[in-house]
Amino acid sequence: MTPARGACGLFITFEGIDGSGKSTQCRLLADALRDAGREVVLTREPGGSPGAEQIRRLVLEGDPDRWSAETELLLFMAARRDHLERTIEPALAAGKVVICDRFADSTRMYQGLSRGDLRAAVDQMHKLMIGREPDLTLLIDMDPSVGLARAKGRQGKEERFEDFGVELQEKMRAGFLALAQEFSNRFRIIDGARPVDAVAAEVRKHVDEVLA
Ligand code: ADP
Ligand code: TYD
């Protein structure tokens, strides 16, 4: 896919392990930028468009062994393609700030690393079907036991990945930190084990640098 380049919008993604505070920080950033007069689209993955939200239910609910690693990868990619076509690209083309709770880096980690090594397949499919990287990625880093306790405290139905346990989250944390080195031009690492306001202030500092 060739995305519509050259538009003046800004694409910001949040990444990190489950429960690290991404959704909280996405909302706070969206509110702050709207208060500052920006047009903001706040969205999430998997999901963010009607079709992708349907796929979200398939991948996040039910038995941890419901899908093979390869099938799961195809489902996440299908959801992303729909989200990109219907939500992200139109908003960027209209010059808006898009804030997305997880994006392709989560696939590089969760499908690319967690059950065998599918990273090369993830990268090839991304190039072929998505072809868009964020302008800025904020990695909320923290100890997995804290993150998992926070995530479990939510008591939702979407626990397929959380049910893989703390070892998976440890692997994801290390993987995200390595990914931040690999894509150091767009990644910023933020310590998430601090009060919400302190994390939000650092998020805002990085975003302001890019907006300037
Ligand atoms: P994520 O989207 O990364 O899974 P959430 O933003 O949903 O994380 O946060 C998980 C839980 O932790 C929520 O109950 C949220 O209110 C709480 N939380 C978020 N940020 C913090 C923080 N900095 N300190 C303490 N609790 C937090
Ligand atoms: P999310 O709702 O962001 O969970 P949390 O708020 O607990 O961080 O994402 C749900 C799960 O989906 C999360 O465990 C990570 C997983 N996921 C993937 O495995 N691959 C992907 O490409 C994406 C976007 C998410």
Nearest to 19 by CA among 121, 114, 151: 151
Residue 209 Cα to ligand 2 midpoint, Å, equals: 27
What pLDDT, on the 0 to 100 scale, is given for residue 164?
64
- Ordered by where they begin, the domains of the chain are 10-211 (3.40.50.300)
What pLDDT, on the 0 to 100 scale, is given for residue 4?
45
What pLDDT, on the 0 to 100 scale, is given for residue 5?
45
What pLDDT, on the 0 to 100 scale, is given for residue 117?
87
Which residue is listed with tokens 């991404």? 22
Which residue is listed with tokens 């992200």? 88
What pLDDT, on the 0 to 100 scale, is given for residue 211?
93
What pLDDT, on the 0 to 100 scale, is given for residue 25?
98
Q: Which residues line ligand 2 (CB under 6 A)?
A: 18-19, 22-23, 45-46, 60, 76, 101-102, 106-107, 110-111, 151, 161
pLDDT lower than 70: segments of the chain: 1-7, 154-164
* Closest-approaching ligand to the CA atom of 78: 2
What pLDDT, on the 0 to 100 scale, is given for residue 145?
87
